Structure 1
Amino acid sequence: MPALTSAHLWKKTGPRNVACGRRAIPYGSNYQSFLTPPAPCGHTHCQKKIGNVRHFSNQSSNLEFEEYGDPGKVVKMKTENISDIKPNQILIKLLAATVNPADINTIQGMYAIKPQLPCIGGNEGVAQIVQVGENVEGFASGDWVIPRYNAFGTWRSYAIADPDEFMKIPSDLSLALAATIAVNPGTAYRMLHDFVELKEGDTVIQNGSNSAVGQAVIQIAKSMGVKTINIVRDRPNIDELKSNLMSIGATVVETEEDLKNSKAVSSLPKPSLAFNCVSGRSGANILRQLSPSGVMVTYGGMSRKPVTVPVGSLIFTDVTLQGFWMTRWNNKHSHHPARQEMLEKLFSLARNGQLRAPEHDLVSFTNFQSALERAMPAQGMHGKKQILIFDF
């Protein structure tokens, strides 16, 4: 079995037998307290606390796919031995990793980036440094880190890497927020700051408002004094959903069907900025709500339908349509001060209680099939971010 090296980014890695009988992590549980008691399996290495670097395994368990297709069928757990690190490398232990729509699309072969196969899945997560090479500066054992670049392959328990591939983050964040802060809150932050110069009292409108990005938009906008009109699909638990979004700072929450005749929407200043992650009819509906010279930013297409533009919006309202892709922004600003500045502001919001993790499920890494199933577009009504927890 080959040894794991940093050259294995998007390469084959991979199933260690981890079926030791540990209980699944229930949604809403505290990860630190979950790991503190002796594990039911009796394994000494299972008795650990986040923040104290434990003795690590000599193998890494990884989720790999060798072909594009249905994630539930092509993603397999495999293992690989961990080699000794070189003087200029670090060894990291993944703590948590997200399952994002982009991950699902990548496995299906439908994403803009098509990695070389076989490869490890996962674009986002948080890790703890276990070992630091003797020539590495600026990092220490115990530091929490997140990937600097796209497509690192976070669905694995360990990785050896160049320290430049990671950025340090504070370890006082909740595990769920640390694992999700780079992509979704980053997208929300950039869209709120890069397209229209918003001032206190302004209004923005968005569809897909219960998505992780949508929840971050609501919270960050509220911290700026900006009002949000939030459009969601109708569903059996619509009242509960509306209540949840209002509790994190939404100004108005309406269904697609109620938007046109909403008195709550008409009572607010016309939005100068719209965020579209659905496209199709939903995108056209929020576009019609824009003020003259307003901007609609499209960052997703959940309906799998094109963006349709009412002619009147172009001619008489003079709207502008733009696209945004967080991956492109991150790659362009990988070492730019603007990226660290953005992260520091997000950390500050989190510490002040103004930004929390999206609604989520914490799922044991060994139960990855459940997380993949719930993250599929067909399960969109589920509405919770799936976060894999490396509980072994």
Structure 2
Amino acid sequence: MASRKYNFTTKICEKLAGPAPGSKAKEIEYTDMATSVKLMVSKNRKTWYCRYTFNGKKPAIRIGEFPGISVDEARKKAIEYGAMVDRGIDPKSQIDMVKGMPTFAEFANDEYMPYAEKHKRSADMDESKLRLHMLKVFGHKRICDISRRDVDMYRTAIAQSHSNATSNRHLALLSRMLGLAIAWERGIVKNPCAGIKKLQESSDVGRALKSDEIKRLQMALDAEPNRLGAQAILLLMYTGLRHAEVLTLPLSAVDLKEGTIFLSHTKSGRSRYVTLNPVAIDLLKSIKPTPGSPWVFPGVDPKKPMNNIRKVWMRALASAKVKHARIHDLRHSLAGAAAVAGVSLYTIQKMLGHASSQTTQRYAHLSDSRAMRDASMAAVTMLTNTDR
């Protein structure tokens, strides 16, 4: 029998023949003298394999077909598998594990979101980030194939389309998800988000919209075709509530008779009652509940709350000819107006639901300006009093 061992080259592999006509054999195996790689030749194809010994067994791993996989590529893969065996790792079991590994979309929908809905108050915000952004980029990838570069490119794109702060929130969610995949032994051992530094966020507190800007925004929102989205923004404008607090507001939390909203979960982790002003009460009275929905502002699926009013906000800004502002600036605008009107910082703290008075101190200069104007006017009145 002729030797079936060769120092493989492309030309040699091209000439290697399969079983002779009439032979009972379906294929012939040839061995590379330089490595453990094998070339299995049948009538119609030539396939690379790697054979090795592990725990007394001699499994084989299919590498790919020649010439699609070159001689050098087949050797490199065989050497890689050999190194794994030397480290006490069974290459075939690793390959089988990778094949069974979920894609990012499968992990997000089947494992992460059910977990988040039970353990996170911000699960709806996570769902929005995943549906609108992450699944489009990572959905088709297996979680083990998401690289550090993939993560860095993604967070850079989000920073360019939104803001550094938003990019950091996306990075935190992605890191948390992949961290759980490691903890749940889903086949990855290193988090590609580890070590990626957060982008620097702006230290400003936004801007307070002027009275005429608020009026123009009200007119634009009154004409907005997405009525529920417009009403959600108006409620933000009239109450100073946080974005998520309004969008996830249950009907059961609103008591129009008492003029209050009960927030069972807030950013500070504490529940609180919000006292509504007459304008906010009238707005809530005008909103007709959606049959079968538990939310004041239901989404496309009435069983879920609305999760995105950014498009409505951008249309309103453009229609009202108001320069760029964030939805969160409505909260600053209400607080700033209250401070200028002479409302105490303690009351503003309670109105906004700040856990710490230090957070409310950002409005102190507005309150001080009002107090100084009043004091100055009192002094001028005393000085110019002709009856003294």
Smaller-chain TM-score bracket = under 0.3
Q: With CA pairs under 8 Å and 6+ residues apart, which has the higher RCO, 1 or 2?
A: 1
TM-score scaled by length of structure 1:
0.26
Structure with the largest fraction of helix: 2
- Structure index of larger Rg: 2
